Amino acid sequence: MKLRLMLWLLGLMLKRARRGNRRFRETLSDLQRLDWGIATEDLSIARHYRMSPSAISSAPGLPVDLDLELRFRDSEAALAILRRPTQRAFLDGLMDGRVRLVGDSRDLTRLQRLLAVMR
């Protein structure tokens, strides 16, 4: 339940950043479009985000047309990494199998750049 709430709140924070943060909007317009999602490996918890310069939408589930997916071993691993989303924590999660990247690693770099501006 905590992970579902965290992912829902992430959608609200992204929408709020698009409305109120000029640097976030500029970075998003440089990217043009990024569709990505977060899920547990068993897909019991999943949410996706569609981001463009004109709007950001968020919905449950993982459609097949996403650019990037972050799959976590379980909800505990996701909470541990997402609570402190440093690059080091994410890389450690990739190395020990708690996180799996589905998609192009360049999209992950684009997402990290966008999220860094959000803070």
pLDDT given at position 39: 97
Place of tokens 């501006």: 117
**Whether residue 119 has pLDDT greater than 80:** no
**Whether residue 52 has pLDDT greater than 90:** yes
Please, what is the average pLDDT of the chain? 93
**Phi/psi of residue 64, nearest 5 degrees:** -80, -10
Q: For 48-52, 86-90, 96-100, which range has the lowest pLDDT when averaged over its residues? A: 86-90
- For 2-118, the fitting CATH number among 3.40.50.620, 3.40.190.10, 3.30.1050.10, 3.90.70.10 is 3.30.1050.10
Mean pLDDT of 73-89: 89
Evaluate whether 13 touches 118 at the Cβ level (below 8 Å): yes
Beta strands in the chain (DSSP E): 34-40, 46-51, 56-60, 68-72, 99-103
Mean pLDDT of 17-23: 94
Mean pLDDT of 2-25: 95
Evaluate whether 34 touches 67 at the Cβ level (below 8 Å): yes
Enumerate the domain spans of the chain.
Answer: 2-118
3-state secondary structure of 14: helix
pLDDT band at residue 112, thresholds of 50, 70 and 90?
confident
Amino acid, res. 43: L
Evaluate whether 67 touches 36 at the Cβ level (below 8 Å): yes
Mean pLDDT of 38-61: 96
Place of tokens 């750049």: 113
Q: For 51-55, 67-71, 83-87, which range has the lowest pLDDT when averaged over its residues? A: 83-87
pLDDT band at residue 87, thresholds of 50, 70 and 90?
confident
